[in-house]
Amino acid sequence: MRLLDLFHADKPVIGVLHAPALPGSPQNTLDFDAILNWVLTDADALAGGGIHGMILENFGDVPFYPQRVPPHTVAFMTALGREIRRRFNLPLGINVLRNDARAALAVAAAVDAQFIRVNIHTGARVTDQGLIQGRAHETFRYRKLLGCDAGIFADVDVKHSAPLAARELRVEVEEVVSRGCADTIIVTGSATGTPAALEDLKTAKAAAREVPVIAGSGVDSTNVTAILKIADGLIVGTALKRDAVTTNPVDGQRVRRFMEAVRGVR
C-alpha cells in the first residue's frame, strides 16, 4: 500500500480522534449525542487545520478489554465512524482498543474506512491487560470474508507493552511484514505521548523495505523535522490537543501550527 495513493500527501499526517468513554464503559459520563458532538468537533478542528487523514479510537474505554470488545462498542464506533465519513472527505482509520482487529475491520467495512490499526498483530506482548497474542491469521481471513480492502497498519514493539523475551526490532519488523503481511508498520515510544527513538525508526525503515513506516506517538513541533527525515508518515494525537493533554479537545490553532511545521520539512 502506497501512503501517497491513500492520503494524497508525500508524508501524511494522521490526526487521532480520541473518543470519550462510550456508553457501557466504566468511565462513561456523556450520552451518545454528546460523545458524537465531541468527536465531530475534534474532526472539524483536524480537517480545518489541514490534516491528511484521521483515525478513530475508543480511547476513553479504560480499562480496555484485552481482545474482543462487546457488541455495543462495535455499534457505537460504527455510528461515530459513519458520521465522520459522511461529513469529512478524508481517509479514516479505525482502532478498537486494546486489540480487537475483527471489530475494527467490521466497523471499517460498515463505514468504508480506509485502514485499521492493530497494536499487536503478530507475536505476543505483556500489557496492562495481561498477555495479548497477535491474530494476523484471523485478521486477514476476516478481511477477506467481509470483502473489505482496509489496510492493516500494524505496530511493532508497541507502547504500553513489553516483550515476553528480548528480540531484535529488525526481526520483529521483518516478520510482521513477511509473515504477518502488514500493509504499514507503526513505530512508537514506550507510552502515549512518548516519541519513538530515531534509531528505532531507522531500523524499522531498513527492515520493512518497501512497506511504509509511520511514527505513531510523541511527535510534536520540536521533533517533527528529525522524525519526518526518516518516517514515511505520522500519527499525531497529544500534540494537537489543548495544552498538549491527551484527553482534552483538539486545538485548531495547534493543528495549523503543526501542519505549518510539517510543510516546512518538505
Contact 227, 196 (CB under 8 A): yes
CATH of residue 192's domain is 3.20.20.70
Give ∠ CA 72-92-254 in degrees, rounded to 5: 105
DSSP 157-194: S-SSEEESS---HHHHHHHHHHTT--SEEEE--SSTTP
Q: How many Å apart are CA 49 and CA 43, to the nearest integer?
A: 10
**Cis amide bond preceding 179, omega within 30:** no
Residue 6 lies in a domain: no
Helix (H, G, I), strand (E, B) or coil at 266: coil
Residue 7 lies in a domain: no
Helix (H, G, I), strand (E, B) or coil at 103: helix
Residue 236 lies in a domain: yes
What is residue 172's predicted lDDT score, i.e. its pLDDT? 94
What is residue 22's predicted lDDT score, i.e. its pLDDT? 98
Grid coordinates representing 102 are 475483527
User: Which residues are registered as beta bridge partners of 57?
Assistant: 18, 95
Residue 195 lies in a domain: yes
The dihedral region occupied by 93, where left means phi > 0, alpha psi between -120 and 50, and beta the remainder, is beta
Q: How many Å apart are CA 65 and CA 169, to the nearest integer?
A: 26
User: Which residues are registered as beta bridge partners of 24?
Assistant: none
Residue 1 lies in a domain: no
- Total number of domains in the chain: 1
CA 94 to chain centre: 7
Backbone angles phi, psi at 23, to 5 degrees: -55, 135
- Each residue's pLDDT, cut to its tens digit, for the chain (266 residues) gives 677 789 989 999 999 999 999 999 999 999 999 999 999 999 999 999 999 999 999 999 999 999 899 999 999 999 999 999 999 999 999 999 999 999 999 999 999 999 999 999 999 989 989 899 999 999 999 999 999 999 999 999 888 888 888 889 999 999 999 999 999 999 998 778 788 899 999 999 999 999 999 999 999 999 999 999 999 999 999 999 999 999 999 999 999 999 999 998 86
Contact 182, 121 (CB under 8 A): yes
What is residue 160's predicted lDDT score, i.e. its pLDDT? 86
List the domain range (segments joined by +) for residue 218. Answer: 14-265
Residue 139 lies in a domain: yes
Q: What is the CA radius of gyration of the chain?
A: 17
What is residue 122's predicted lDDT score, i.e. its pLDDT? 94
Tell the residue number behind the cell numbers 497494536, with chain if given: 119
Residue 20 lies in a domain: yes
Contact 204, 213 (CB under 8 A): yes
What is residue 266's predicted lDDT score, i.e. its pLDDT? 65
What is residue 77's predicted lDDT score, i.e. its pLDDT? 98
